Amino acid sequence: MIDEAGIRSAILAGAGAVVVKSTNESEAAKDQLKRAEYVALGADWEPVTWGAQTPREATLVSRSGLTPLPFEAWLEQNLRMDRLAREHDCLLVPSLILSDLETATEMARKIAQAGFRALEFNIGTPYASQAAKGAVSTELLPERVGAIAAAMTAAISIPVWIKVTGQSERVPDLAAAAFDAGAESVVMAGRLLGLVPDLETQAPLLGTSCGIGGYWNLPLTCHWLATSRARLGPDRSLIGINGAQNGRDVARMLLAGASAVGLASAVMMRGYGAISQSVAELDAYCQAKDMSAAALVGVAADRRKAFAQMPLLDDHWRQFIPPTL
Q: Domain limits at 111?
A: 4-304
Q: Assess if residue 289 is contained within a domain.
A: yes
Other CB atoms within a 10 A radius of the CB of residue 111 amount to 24
Q: Assess if residue 323 is contained within a domain.
A: no
pLDDT of residue 19 exceeding 70, the answer is yes
Other CB atoms within a 10 A radius of the CB of residue 41 amount to 18
Across the range 167-174, mean pLDDT stands at 93
Q: Assess if residue 209 is contained within a domain.
A: yes
Q: What is the CATH number of the domain that holds 106?
A: 3.20.20.70
Do residues 278 and 315 touch, judged by C-beta distance below 8 A?
Answer: no
What pLDDT sits at residue 24?
Answer: 86
Q: Assess if residue 317 is contained within a domain.
A: no
pLDDT of residue 212 exceeding 70, the answer is yes
Mean pLDDT across the chain, nearest whole number?
93
Do residues 64 and 209 touch, judged by C-beta distance below 8 A?
Answer: no
Instruction: Please count the structural domains in the chain.
Output: 1
Residue-wise pLDDT tens digits, 97-144: 998 999 999 999 999 999 999 999 999 887 766 666 666 778 889 999
202 falls in which pLDDT band (50, 70, 90)?
Answer: very high
Q: Assess if residue 210 is contained within a domain.
A: yes
Q: Assess if residue 314 is contained within a domain.
A: no
Residue-wise pLDDT tens digits, 178-192: 999 999 999 998 889
Q: Tell me if residue 252 falls in helix, strand or coil.
A: helix
Distance CA 303, CA 296 (A): 12
Which position has the higher pLDDT, 140 or 196? 196
Q: Assess if residue 94 is contained within a domain.
A: yes
What pLDDT sits at residue 18?
Answer: 97
Q: Assess if residue 268 is contained within a domain.
A: yes
What pLDDT sits at residue 300?
Answer: 98
Backbone angles phi, psi at 260, to 5 degrees: -155, 155
Do residues 40 and 48 touch, judged by C-beta distance below 8 A?
Answer: yes
